[in-house]
């Protein structure tokens, strides 16, 4: 009974946890969706208003280049009616509110509304910043209330020049109500609001009438005095709109008039103001109720089905345990068989070595070719009576014969590694000896060798004879790989590190086929059409490994293969 009660409590607690997680995940999803909506709307708003502002700001600039306008402002008032009619036409075509011209004293001398009772003609706007700044050479976009209409507008102004001297200012006004009324182009919804906030934090434009010319910020006495002195809003003083801000799920929330919003903001590019969009998220919490309902239903169904399945399969625990035990034994036996198979394969390979003595010429062909070359040279030296050079050639031949004996004995590396006699040797001498042994093969294959220019101080810890055997094998392999190539160059690269030396042997052949990389250093694997033994690279890798080094290969980007030998340049202490 007690155990059953514990299960009920556990199921109930898990349900509560799932409902809490569902609520917060669903709420976060809806908040993120509202934030993305706000960001999308504020981007569209900005693009629309920026496009309109650019269009309107271009009109005063075009008017300043009008010759009739320049003549009129310069004092030729016989164009008075033509200028007024021209400004009226421009105002109608552009959709602006008013266009007027100021002289150097700030008096309106021409206006698009010259025919109406409240015309601007004769008014003086010298106190307006858009006049002062434009007369000083700026292109101005300025927000203010109209003195007569009391309507909010953005004023674009630019000076008119005659003989490089400012003689007047042309001004274009756009009522911001034009943007507020164009709700379809603004792409806003009833669940969102927007407002344009000026640099002084006063709201210039909004779809909420109560927010217009007011602020979400409290102004102190100094700030209110500055606003009054500027007279941008005439005698109006912005009032504070109360709001409460807090952060939830990493998103800033705004509470205004008992409604909750998330916001997105973006500055206008062509006007000093920021556009804000507020998306209503007041109903986000109640919107989670359907999710909680369906989460409860699904949890109940999963609980019932899960309990039924557990009860049904409870009798198979012993069978499953036996099965796992049997699988473990099978895996153990399989591993033992795999080890035995590997041992048998290795034994078979070692047994095969006794049958490969006829093919050992793969390993000793290069020294024998070098011996033939030096014997031919010795005959010519003997005929010439050059006994000194003849003696040197015989010494080299003797060394090569000894090397052949040593190479034949290297076949044991494949079955049982011998004890290495590692000593420091100059790398340049070892490479030069290997090139000398391989010279016959290189000459036969018409290979151009770029002699290595290695510093004599660079040493490697190796068994010299075995290391030269590796170099000879890699050089002759590279030479044979360039058969059929148009360019046959063999080169060496050396990189020295703190404790390692990296020697690269590069050829310009056809490179290594991709399928061969996995077996390249495997015994008895050969890519040569001559059916070589396939022991050269395998034994070479064993030798380099015995030096505590590394032998690897890859294809070059420019074509050909690169074999890399990494060795130590100092003695390494290792436990036997």
**What is the per-residue pLDDT across 38-71, written as a single tens digit (0 to 9) for each?**
888 889 888 888 998 899 989 998 998 888 888 8
Instruction: Say yes or no to pLDDT of 1 above 80.
Output: no
For residue 166, the Cα-to-chain-centroid distance in whole angstroms is 52
Long-range contacts from 513-517, C-beta under 8 angstroms, 24+ separation: 517/553
Residues 394-415 pLDDT 10s: 888 877 787 777 666 555 544 4
**Can you give the pLDDT at residue 351?**
46
Q: Where are the domains of the chain?
A: 1-284, 316-343, 419-568
**Can you give the pLDDT at residue 60?**
92
* Cα distance between residue 565 and residue 544, in whole Å: 8
Report DSSP letters for 166-190, one per residue. EEEEEEEEEETHHHHH-HHHHT--T
| Contact present, 270 and 53 (Cβ < 8 Å) | yes
Nearest to 280 by CA among 258, 261, 252: 261
The residue ranking higher by pLDDT, 386 or 518, is 386
Reported as a pLDDT band with limits 50, 70 and 90, residue 526 is low
Tell me if domain 1-284 and domain 419-568 are identical in fold: no
**Can you give the pLDDT at residue 4?**
63
Instruction: Say yes or no to pLDDT of 347 above 50.
Output: yes
DSSP state letter for 548: T
**Can you give the pLDDT at residue 491?**
93
Instruction: Say yes or no to pLDDT of 287 above 90.
Output: no
Which residue has 């609980």 as its token pair? 303
First to last CA, the chain: 68
Q: Is 99 helix (H, G, I), strand (E, B) or coil?
A: strand
Provide the residue count of the chain. 576
Out of 1.10.490.10, 1.25.40.10, 3.30.450.20, 3.40.50.170, which CATH number does the structure's domain 1-284 have? Answer: 3.30.450.20
| Contact present, 562 and 545 (Cβ < 8 Å) | no
Question: How large is the average pLDDT for residues 302-313?
Answer: 83
Instruction: Say yes or no to pLDDT of 350 above 60.
Output: no
The three state secondary structure string of 349-371 is: HHHHHCCCHHHCHHHHHHHHHHH
Interior angle at CA 560, CA 556 and CA 562, nearest 5: 60
Residues 135-156 pLDDT 10s: 888 888 999 998 888 889 999 9
Reported as a pLDDT band with limits 50, 70 and 90, residue 3 is low
Nearest to 82 by CA among 92, 74, 93, 71: 71
DSSP H or E segment with residue 394:
helix 387-409
Question: How large is the average pLDDT for residues 351-374?
Answer: 61
- Phi/psi zone of residue 139: left (φ > 0), alpha (ψ -120 to 50 degrees), beta? beta
Instruction: Say yes or no to pLDDT of 22 above 90.
Output: no
Burial 527-560 (b: 16+ CB within 10 A, else e): eeeeebbbbbbbbbbbbbebbbbebebebeeeeb
Instruction: Say yes or no to pLDDT of 24 above 70.
Output: yes
DSSP state letter for 557: T
Q: How many CA atoms lie within 13 A of 326 on its CB side?
A: 6
Report DSSP letters for 225-285, one per residue. HHHHHHTTTTT--PPBPP-EEEEETTEEEEEETTEEEEEEEEE-SSSSEEEEEEEE-TTTT
Give the residues across from 141 on adjacent strands: 156
Out of 3.40.50.300, 3.40.190.80, 1.10.3720.10, 3.30.565.10, which CATH number does the structure's domain 419-568 have? Answer: 3.30.565.10
Residues 63-93 pLDDT 10s: 988 888 888 888 766 678 888 898 999 989 9
Segment among 293-297, 399-403, 540-544 with least mean pLDDT: 399-403
Interior angle at CA 526, CA 520 and CA 532, nearest 5: 145
Residues 432-469 pLDDT 10s: 888 888 887 888 889 999 988 888 889 999 988 889 88
For residue 487, the Cα-to-chain-centroid distance in whole angstroms is 39
**Can you give the pLDDT at residue 362?**
53
Both structure tokens of 389:
């050079």
The three state secondary structure string of 292-360 is: HHHHHHHHHHHHHHHHHHHHHHHHHHHHHHHHHHHHHHHHHHHHHHHHHHHHHHHHHHHHHHCCCHHHC
Which residue has 């009522």 as its token pair? 175
DSSP state letter for 547: T
* Single pTM value for the model: 0.50
Residues 169-222 pLDDT 10s: 999 999 988 888 775 555 556 678 899 999 999 999 988 889 999 999 989 999
């Amino acid at each position: 009974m007690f155990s059953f009660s514990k299960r009920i409590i556990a199921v109930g607690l898990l349900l509560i946890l799932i409902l809490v997680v569902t609520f917060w995940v669903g709420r976060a999803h809806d908040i993120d969706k509202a934030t993305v909506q706000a960001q999308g709307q504020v981007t569209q708003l900005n693009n629309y208003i920026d496009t309109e502002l650019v269009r309107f700001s271009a009109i005063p600039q075009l008017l300043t280049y009008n010759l009739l306008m320049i003549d009129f402002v310069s004092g030729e008032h016989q164009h008075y009616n033509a200028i007024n009619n021209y400004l009226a036409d421009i105002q109608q075509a552009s959709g602006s509110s008013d266009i007027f011209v100021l002289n150097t004293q700030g008096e309106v001398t021409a206006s698009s509304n010259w025919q109406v009772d409240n015309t601007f003609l004769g008014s003086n706007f010298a106190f307006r910043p858009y006049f002062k700044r434009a007369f000083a050479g700026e292109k101005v976009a300025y927000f203010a209330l109209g003195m007569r209409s009391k309507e909010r507008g953005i004023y674009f102004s630019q000076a008119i020049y005659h003989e490089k001297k400012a003689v007047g200012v042309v001004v274009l006004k756009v009522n911001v109500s034009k943007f507020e009324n164009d709700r379809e182009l603004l792409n806003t919804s009833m669940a969102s609001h927007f407002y344009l906030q000026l640099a002084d934090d006063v709201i210039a434009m909004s779809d909420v009438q109560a927010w217009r010319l007011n602020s979400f910020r409290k102004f102190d006495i100094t700030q209110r005095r500055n606003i009054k002195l500027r007279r941008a809003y005439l005698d109006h003083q912005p009032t504070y709109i109360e709001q409460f801000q807090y952060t939830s799920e990493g998103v800033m929330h705004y509470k205004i008039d008992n409604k909750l919003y998330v916001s997105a903001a973006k500055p206008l590019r062509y006007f000093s103001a920021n556009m804000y969009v507020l998306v209503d998220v007041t109903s986000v919490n109640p919107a989670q109720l359907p999710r909680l309902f369906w989460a409860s239903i699904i949890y109940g169904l999963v609980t019932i089905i899960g309990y039924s399945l557990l009860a049904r399969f409870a009798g198979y625990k012993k069978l499953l345990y036996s099965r796992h035990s049997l699988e473990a034994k099978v895996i153990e036996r399989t591993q033992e068989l795999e080890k035995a198979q590997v041992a048998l394969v290795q034994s078979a390979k070692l047994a095969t070595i006794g049958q490969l003595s006829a093919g050992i010429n793969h390993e000793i062909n290069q020294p024998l070719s070098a011996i033939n070359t030096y014997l031919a040279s010795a005959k010519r030296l003997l005929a010439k009576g050059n006994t000194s050079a003849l003696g040197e050639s015989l010494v080299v031949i003797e060394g090569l014969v000894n090397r052949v004996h040593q190479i034949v004995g290297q076949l044991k590396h494949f079955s049982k590694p011998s004890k290495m006699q590692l000593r420091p040797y100059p790398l340049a001498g070892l490479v030069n000896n290997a090139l000398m042994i391989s010279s016959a093969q290189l000459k036969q294959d018409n290979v151009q060798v770029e002699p290595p220019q290695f510093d004599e101080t660079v040493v490697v810890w190796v068994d010299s004879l075995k290391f030269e055997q590796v170099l000879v094998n890699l050089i002759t392999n590279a030479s044979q790989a360039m058969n059929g190539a148009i360019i046959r160059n063999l080169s060496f690269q050396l990189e020295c590190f703190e404790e390692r030396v990296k020697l690269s042997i590069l050829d310009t052949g056809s490179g290594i086929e991709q399928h061969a990389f996995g077996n390249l250093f495997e015994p008895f694997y050969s890519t040569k059409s001559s059916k070589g033994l396939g022991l050269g690279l395998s034994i070479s890798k064993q030798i380099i490994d015995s030096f505590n080094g590394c032998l690897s290969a890859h294809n070059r980007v420019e074509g050909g293969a690169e074999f890399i030998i990494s060795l130590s340049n100092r003695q390494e202490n290792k436990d036997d």
